[in-house]
């Protein structure tokens, strides 16, 4: 009986091909990249373990991610700010862990949440043997089968992403996972990886926005704070420390309809979840630019700050609420919100973020600049 090499054993259980036949040359005569070119010339993309593992096809025609485009920095690697440099990714598992070649010398697994690289071996046979040694865990075989039996088949462009990231305490329960476009899954996690990469265990983490509202030339930052705010009744307030306001029916109606409301010394910001949410308070000397790309919902209002201190809370004026010192005066305000597509169906979990920018200027009436087109999860 002939013993098959591990890569041949893996191909024996593969579903393939994902693309038409191609003669692939990756510019190397030896090493893992030469092996990859030979593999994809032989079988142009495939899945194994009931789509728990996917190997990308090469060439413009085919199903799922394309090898060259997947490795372009602008596809998703740019969101990792250098942490994914030097990787040539050729496949991924069910949760977006990347199988990659580094320096044409080693095959590694790249964790999308932490950007950690775990060495597997010197070539594709080592990678195949590693998968075959534990298909249930390393190939996500059992989970991929159970998910698709209950939720339906995954598209070739889809992977699973947790609503609460695994590194932030999220579980592998079905209710904490959603199927999304694989590129979107990677771009969502890039900023998280930037934040937590190389942090010691137990360190406090603040998830920052993938991008911030662009500043105009000459703009200076007057104050800045990253806050965790309990958004009771799906809202919070940005207000002068001394202002007091009891929400009325008109206020509530505006927050529900537009996610923005304002009164003397107070701005109300609607949120997609009635949970603790991440808020950035960003006070600048000049208005941000008008590029709203990448934001789900953008609103505008104004705020008078007489006390020289701003608080962000929901009717909580206790000493425990942080105060942010700002120059007294009138401010225009813009609220940028994103991450609505990460929110669970029950509206409990998500990675939504609210970036509040204030700058000295005339107080503006509340209005919506960019409206989220879909109903918010959770009703």
How much is the pLDDT for 219?
80
* Domain spans of the chain, in order of start: 6-196, 221-370
User: Tokens representing 371?
Assistant: 């409206």
Average pLDDT value for residue range 6-17: 95
Query: 134 to each of 49, 66, 129, 130, 364, how far by Cα in Å?
Result: 11, 27, 9, 7, 60
Band the pLDDT of 135: cuts 50, 70, 90: very high
Task: Please indicate whether residue 24 or residue 176 has the higher confidence score (pLDDT).
Answer: 24
* 109-118 average pLDDT score: 96
Distances (CA, A) of 248 to 36, 252, 266, 367: 64, 6, 13, 19
Residue 356 CA to residue 14 CA, distance in Å, equals: 49
Q: Which residue has the tokens 């200027």?
A: 361
Q: Note the pLDDT of residue 348.
A: 80
Mean pLDDT (the chain, rounded): 91
* Cα gap 201→168, rounded to integer Å: 11
List the one residue out of 228, 294, 291, 233 whose CA is nearest residue 261. 233
Mean pLDDT of 71-93: 95
Q: What are the tens digits of pLDDT across the range 63-79?
A: 999 999 999 999 999 98
Using CA atoms, how far apart are residues 335 and 259, in angstroms rounded to an integer? 10
The DSSP line for 206-271 is -PPPSS-PPBPTT--EEEEEEEEEE-GGGEEEEEETT------HHHHHHHHHHSEEEETTEEEEE-
The DSSP bridge partners found for residue 299 are: 335, 368
Provide the pLDDT for residue 209.
43
CB 273 within 8 A of CB 343: yes
| Domain 221-370 fold | Substrate Binding Domain Of DNAk; Chain A, domain 1 (2.60.34)
Mean pLDDT across the stretch 19-24? 96
Q: Residue 27 pLDDT > 80, yes or no? A: yes
Q: 322-346 burial, b if ≥16 CB within 10 A, otherwise e?
A: bebebeeeebbbbbbbbbbbbbbee
163-183 pLDDT per residue, tens: 878 887 788 999 889 898 999
| pLDDT at site 211 | 54
Minimum mean pLDDT range among 37-51, 161-175, 320-334: 161-175
Pairing of strands 353-360, 276-284: parallel
Does 51 have pLDDT greater than 80? yes
State how far the Cα of 317 lies from the Cα of 6, in Å rounded to an integer: 64
Instruction: Work out the average pLDDT over 293-314.
Output: 95
Least confident of 47-51, 94-98, 207-211: 207-211
Model's pTM, two decimal places?
0.59
Tell me, what's the pLDDT at 208? Answer: 45
- pLDDT tens-digit map of 198-227: 666 555 455 444 457 877 777 888 888 888
């Amino acid at each position: 009986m002939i013993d098959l090499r591990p890569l041949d054993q893996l191909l024996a259980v593969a579903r393939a091909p994902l693309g038409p036949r191609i003669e692939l040359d990756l510019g190397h005569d030896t090493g893992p990249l030469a092996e990859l070119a030979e593999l994809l010339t032989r079988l142009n993309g495939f899945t194994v373990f009931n789509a728990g593992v996917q190997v990308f096809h090469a060439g413009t025609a085919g199903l799922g991610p394309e090898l060259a485009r997947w490795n372009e920095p602008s596809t998703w690697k740019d969101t990792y700010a250098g942490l994914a440099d030097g990787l040539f990714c050729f496949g991924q598992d069910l949760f977006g862990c990347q199988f990659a070649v580094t320096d044409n010398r080693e095959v590694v697994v790249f964790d999308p949440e932490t950007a950690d690289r775990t060495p597997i071996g010197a070539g594709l046979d080592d990678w195949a043997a590693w998968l075959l040694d534990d298909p249930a865990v390393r190939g996500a075989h059992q989970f991929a089968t159970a998910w698709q039996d209950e939720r339906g088949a995954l598209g070739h462009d889809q992977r699973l992403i947790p609503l609460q990231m695994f590194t932030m305490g999220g579980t592998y329960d079905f209710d904490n996972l959603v199927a999304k476009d694989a590129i979107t899954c990677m771009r969502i996690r890039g900023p998280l990886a930037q934040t937590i990469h190389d942090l010691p265990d137990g360190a406090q983490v603040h998830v920052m926005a993938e991008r911030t509202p662009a500043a105009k030339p000459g703009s200076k930052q007057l104050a800045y704070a990253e806050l965790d705010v309990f958004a009771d009744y799906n809202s919070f307030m940005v207000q002068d420390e001394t202002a007091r306001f009891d929400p009325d029916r008109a206020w509530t109606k505006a927050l529900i309809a537009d996610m923005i409301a304002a009164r003397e010394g107070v701005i109300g910001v609607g949120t997609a979840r009635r949970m603790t949410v991440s808020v950035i308070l960003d006070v600048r000397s000049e208005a941000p630019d008008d590029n709203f790309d990448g934001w789900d919902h953008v609103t505008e209002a104004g705020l008078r700050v007489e006390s020289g201190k701003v608080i962000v809370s929901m009717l909580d004026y206790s000493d425990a609420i942080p105060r942010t010192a700002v120059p007294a005066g009138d401010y225009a305000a813009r609220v940028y919100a994103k991450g609505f597509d990460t929110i669970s169906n029950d509206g409990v979990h998500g990675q939504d973020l609210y970036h509040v920018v204030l700058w000295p200027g005339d107080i503006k009436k509340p209005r919506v600049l960019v409206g989220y087109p879909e109903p918010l999860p959770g009703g």
